[in-house]
């Protein structure tokens, strides 16, 4: 994640990739019952993907998946 974080600073597409990776890892943590770690990863994913989705429809699916995973976390 460290390299992807560094790349994401200067590139919207890399921010999208990082957001997607955070969402995927957050979902895995959720399934494993590690809710605190899942929440942190999913919230970071949301912070990365939400602004991208607001300006580019390509990221709408990533935003929906992250929101769905956060909703699942609340159950």
pLDDT of residue 9: 76
Exposed (0-12), middle (13-18) or buried (19+): which is 75, by Cβ within 10 Å? exposed
pLDDT of residue 14: 86
pLDDT of residue 38: 98
Tokens of residue 52, six digits: 């991208």
pTM over 0.75: yes
Range of the domain at 56: 2-74
Q: How many domains does the chain have?
A: 1
- For the chain, 75 residues long, the average pLDDT of each consecutive 10-residue run is 71 86 97 97 96 95 98 94
Exposure pattern of 7-43 as b/e (b: 16+ CB <10 Å)?
ebeeeeebbbbbbbbbbebbbebbeeeeeeebbebbe
Helix, strand, or coil (residue 10): coil
pLDDT of residue 11: 78
């Amino acid at each position: 994640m460290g390299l992807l974080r560094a790349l994401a600073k200067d590139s919207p597409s890399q921010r999208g990739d990082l957001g997607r990776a955070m969402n995927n890892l957050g979902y895995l943590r959720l399934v494993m019952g590690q809710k605190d770690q899942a929440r942190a990863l999913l919230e970071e994913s949301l912070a990365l993907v939400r602004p991208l989705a607001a300006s580019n429809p390509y990221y709408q699916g990533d935003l929906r998946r992250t929101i769905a995973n956060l909703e699942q976390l609340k159950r």
